[in-house]
A and B are shown apart, each in its own frame.
Chain A
Amino acid sequence: MLLRLTFNWQVLISNSYSLVRSFHSLFYLLLLGLSITLAIFFSSKVNANETTTSDSQRFKIHGFISQGLIDVNGSDFVNDDGKLSAELTEIGLNATYQLTDNLRVAGQVVYLEGGNRFAKGTRIDYALLDWSVFSSQQWQANIYLGRFKNNHWLYSSTRDVPFARPSIILPQSVYFDGFRDIAVGSDGIASKLSYSFADYGDLDWQISYGVSPISNKQTSNLLSEFAQGSATQDYDAQTSLYWHPEFSAWRFGLSLLDASFTYQRGRPSTENIFFDSNFIFQFYTFNALYEGESWEFSAEVYQQRFVIDGFYSPTFKLDDIGQGFYLQSRYKLSQRLTLLARYEDFYLDKDDKNGKEQEQNTNGAIPYYFGFHQDTTLGLNFDVTSNFAIRAEYHWVRGTGRLSPVVSPNIQLNNSEGWQMWAVQLKYWF
């Protein structure tokens, strides 16, 4: 039983936020107050100085709406009954307002529906104050306060933006939908430092520190049956470095993540079985991107470390290292039609890559194929206009190591190593 749950560490982390909720409300009230104060303070200054930012350029609104169909055979990735589903909806609306030459506020609200993939509903995607600390022809330094997007991985900042990611379903090992609400961003402080060399190209260094909230619905979806206590995220610290050599088609990136969580059992009872515990999650990635006129290649290679101290028993210890990569190629057949091919390979424990050990240790309760995830994807994207596109793709998957709900994996529905899915999606943006 204990081991059955150990490989499902993602869920444990995702329960971390119920206690933090009151803190978040307070945080946003403070942020809102700060923004309004700053806006009032600087608006008088703005009027007096006649700054050069034209009024029409101060305020901008953008958004997107997309709807798709998805059909999964052989797993509960989207739904339990395996039928064709329209649970593939993504809607977003954002606004930015330039308060002064150096201060800007921005926010985005998104509505997501993805079936079992993540909690359905509306959420504040980001809400931030952007302070341009320094800006010159070669340097940019910005500090972001509030709720900001994770901008450290290749597609993390636009994973919910249908036309700004490479496929309808992203590589689940990095962009695991069950882990979305925590990985998508944080509430706290972030900074970005950009420098453009005359000869060596562009360098971007980013650092962020914060905590992530998670909806009650997702927490209950993933954990309630087993963990009745409450969890908090202590911190989420990330940094990344990107280098784009001048006039090169290549770009290279590195990212590091370190996060810590605490679980508190509360009042023990026969149903409240898990113990006070600490979790550590670390994630390192290296990525490379090639953007040519017709061909494009991208890859992310990564390693994660997950440490459990407690939870199953006061003395329980687990320290697993998972590894993976994906290789992606896109070919522009014409200005409007792009083809996609991708291969992804991921295992949750590098010492048990085929999951056999786990199957033995659980006396067959957890089939070996819950230990890995391999996805071969083919797809195409057609840009009908500059603002409207259609996308279709097919996935052949081996392994069920990246499925929600993860605490109680559905062995009945996910009873085979191989499963497939196809999806089509219409996308409009402005």
Chain B
Amino acid sequence: MAIEVVTHPNVTDMSLTNLQLRRIFTMRQLRWSDDTPINIFVLPSQHNVHQRFSKQHLKIFPYQLNRIWHKLTYSGLGVAPTIVQSERELVNAIINTPGSIGYIQDTGLIKPWQSSQAKEIKQVVSLNEDRQDQEKIAKNDSLNINTKGVVNVIKINF
């Protein structure tokens, strides 16, 4: 199951290199290319999706990420990512936080508008487990869609 990197719709960077992704999650790059601050959301360190994202996308072991983040948080040197407990919570946080970035399992997403309109309105995703929202979104006319519930899926160039 693939893992997708998602951002808030106001993030203008639509693709990142894996080096950039690693800089972002290791807190060495704190701003997007338009100079706005990056807000990071992650799952708990022992969460399976976090473990896989860390190794596969960042090429770094989860314990190394913990060390970097703990050092920043508990020595005052900087700020670490915000930890949320579930993928659903993570998507909600991304939706509600400008400049945010996170990751989620591909199977946890639906992409109702992967047709021609997808290019215009970016990709729209929501969680499978959230049946009602999913139906609401599905019933909506894509052109009238509220930005609430919308996140970008970022292309990662390895």
> Chain A residues in contact with chain B, CB under 8 A?
51-54, 56-57, 60, 62, 64, 92, 94, 96, 98, 101, 104, 106-108, 125-126, 128, 130, 132, 135-138, 140, 142, 144, 148-149, 151, 157-158, 161, 163-164, 192, 194, 196, 198, 202, 246-247, 291, 293, 332, 335-336, 383, 385-387
- Known contacts A136-B31, A157-B71, A52 near B36 by CB under 8 Å: yes
Contact of A62 among B29, B46, B74 (CB under 8 A): B74
Contacts of A247 in B (CB 8 A): 59
B99 touches A108 (CB 8 A): no
A196 touches B74 (CB 8 A): no
Contact of B23 among A53, A96, A196, A332 (CB under 8 A): A196
Q: Which 4 A-B pairs have the closest CB atoms?
A: A157-B75, A386-B44, A126-B76, A164-B70
Contacts of B29 in A (CB 8 A): 137-138, 196
- Known contacts A157-B71, A161-B70, A164-B70, A52 near B99 by CB under 8 Å: yes
Number of interface residues of B (CB under 8 A): 38
Interface string of B7-31 (1 = CB under 8 A from A): 0001000000001100100001111
B64 touches A137 (CB 8 A): no
A54 touches B98 (CB 8 A): yes
Contact of B98 among A52, A92, A132, A142 (CB under 8 A): A52
- Known contacts A136-B31, A332-B63, A104 near B79 by CB under 8 Å: yes
Q: What separation, in Å, do the CA atoms of A142 and B79 have in the docked complex?
A: 13
Contacts of B111 in A (CB 8 A): none
Contact of A135 among B31, B39, B71, B75 (CB under 8 A): B31
A164 touches B36 (CB 8 A): no
Contact of A192 among B51, B74, B77, B83 (CB under 8 A): B77
Contacts of A387 in B (CB 8 A): 44
B147: Cβ under 8 A from any A Cβ: no
B37 touches A53 (CB 8 A): yes
B10 touches A194 (CB 8 A): no
Q: In the complex, how many angstroms separate the beta carbon of B109 from the nearest chain A beta carbon?
A: 22
Contact of B73 among A57, A94, A130, A332 (CB under 8 A): A94
Task: List 6 interface pairs A-B (beta carbons < 8 Å), by A numbering.
Answer: A62-B74, A94-B74, A96-B76, A125-B76, A137-B31, A192-B77
Q: In the complex, how many angstroms separate the beta carbon of B102 from the nearest chain A beta carbon?
A: 13
B105: Cβ under 8 A from any A Cβ: no
Q: What separation, in Å, do the CA atoms of A385 and B70 have in the docked complex?
A: 16
Q: In the complex, how many angstroms separate the beta carbon of A182 from the nearest chain B beta carbon?
A: 17
Q: What separation, in Å, do the CA atoms of A135 and B79 have in the docked complex?
A: 14
B75 touches A52 (CB 8 A): no
Q: What separation, in Å, do the CA atoms of A149 and B130 have in the docked complex?
A: 45
Q: In the complex, how many angstroms separate the beta carbon of B95 from the nearest chain A beta carbon?
A: 11
Interface string of B77-108 (1 = CB under 8 A from A): 11100110000000000001111100000000
A54 touches B96 (CB 8 A): yes
Q: What separation, in Å, do the CA atoms of A386 and B76 have in the docked complex?
A: 21
Q: What separation, in Å, do the CA atoms of A158 and B63 have in the docked complex?
A: 15
Known contacts A60-B79, A246-B19, A385-B44, then 9 further A-B pairs from the complex at CB < 8 Å, ordered by chain A residue: A52-B99, A54-B100, A64-B74, A94-B73, A104-B79, A196-B23, A202-B28, A291-B61, A386-B83
A54 touches B75 (CB 8 A): no
> Chain B residues in contact with chain A, CB under 8 A?
10, 19-20, 23, 28-31, 33, 36-37, 39, 44-47, 51, 59, 61, 63-64, 67, 70-71, 73-79, 82-83, 96-100
Contact of B77 among A51, A157, A198, A385 (CB under 8 A): A157
A158 touches B71 (CB 8 A): yes
B74 touches A57 (CB 8 A): no
Q: What separation, in Å, do the CA atoms of A148 and B74 have in the docked complex?
A: 11
Q: What separation, in Å, do the CA atoms of A104 and B78 have in the docked complex?
A: 9
Q: What separation, in Å, do the CA atoms of A44 and B31 have in the docked complex?
A: 23
A196 touches B28 (CB 8 A): yes
Contact of B78 among A53, A126, A130, A202 (CB under 8 A): A130
B82 touches A293 (CB 8 A): no
Contacts of A107 in B (CB 8 A): 76
B46 touches A383 (CB 8 A): yes
Minimum CB distance partner of A164 in chain B: B70
Q: In the complex, how many angstroms separate the beta carbon of A49 from the nearest chain B beta carbon?
A: 12
B30 touches A135 (CB 8 A): yes
Q: Which of A140, A163, A246 has the most CB of B within 10 A?
A: A140
A137 touches B99 (CB 8 A): no
Contacts of B78 in A (CB 8 A): 130, 142
Q: In the complex, how many angstroms separate the beta carbon of B31 from the nearest chain A beta carbon?
A: 5
A293 touches B23 (CB 8 A): no
Q: What separation, in Å, do the CA atoms of A293 and B97 have in the docked complex?
A: 33
Q: In the complex, how many angstroms separate the beta carbon of B108 from the nearest chain A beta carbon?
A: 20
A140 touches B39 (CB 8 A): no
Contact of A158 among B10, B28, B74 (CB under 8 A): B74
Q: What separation, in Å, do the CA atoms of A149 and B67 have in the docked complex?
A: 16
Q: What separation, in Å, do the CA atoms of A213 and B17 have in the docked complex?
A: 46
Q: What separation, in Å, do the CA atoms of A192 and B78 have in the docked complex?
A: 11
Minimum CB distance partner of B50 in chain A: A386
A137 touches B33 (CB 8 A): yes
Q: In the complex, how many angstroms separate the beta carbon of B9 from the nearest chain A beta carbon?
A: 13
Contacts of B63 in A (CB 8 A): 291, 332
Q: What separation, in Å, do the CA atoms of A148 and B44 have in the docked complex?
A: 28
Contacts of A164 in B (CB 8 A): 67, 70-71, 74
